[in-house]
Amino acid sequence: MTNFTIFLVLITVVCFLLIIVIMVQNPKGGGLSSTLGGSTQMGGVQKTTDFLDKSTWTLATILILLILFSSLSFPGMMGASESKIIDENAVPKTAVPAPAKPAESPKK
């Protein structure tokens, strides 16, 4: 596997984990802690919302770093100032024909 493939797999896994963590949260502030314990100190669930918030920010940071590091996995792209698409030595030079002289009218 190439480096880019490894980064692609890691980015996909982090994206799915981030989706799961975001879907568990309740947008109205209740979230998983209100479902399992009623308050943040009962039922063995302590500060679940803080854990979900921290895990969301951690996964988002990891995702951004993986995306940035995946750009470094492309070989030969860093520091290249000229285009690699067209190699000037490989393109044959075509001769430009000289413009034709206008036809002379016959003299009377």
First to last CA, the chain: 83
In the predicted structure, residue 15 carries a pLDDT above the cut 60:
yes
For residue 91, give the DSSP letter.
S
Q: What is the pTM of this model?
A: 0.55
Residue 69 · residue 78 · CB < 8 Å: no
Query: Which DSSP string do the residues of 56-67 spell out, in sequence order?
Result: HHHHHHHHHHHH
In this predicted structure, what is the pLDDT of residue 46? 56
Task: Give me 3's structure tokens.
Answer: 């480096």
Query: Which DSSP string do the residues of 16-46 spell out, in sequence order?
Result: HHHHHHHHHS-TTS-HHHHHHTSSSSSTT--
In this predicted structure, what is the pLDDT of residue 84? 57
In this predicted structure, what is the pLDDT of residue 97? 73
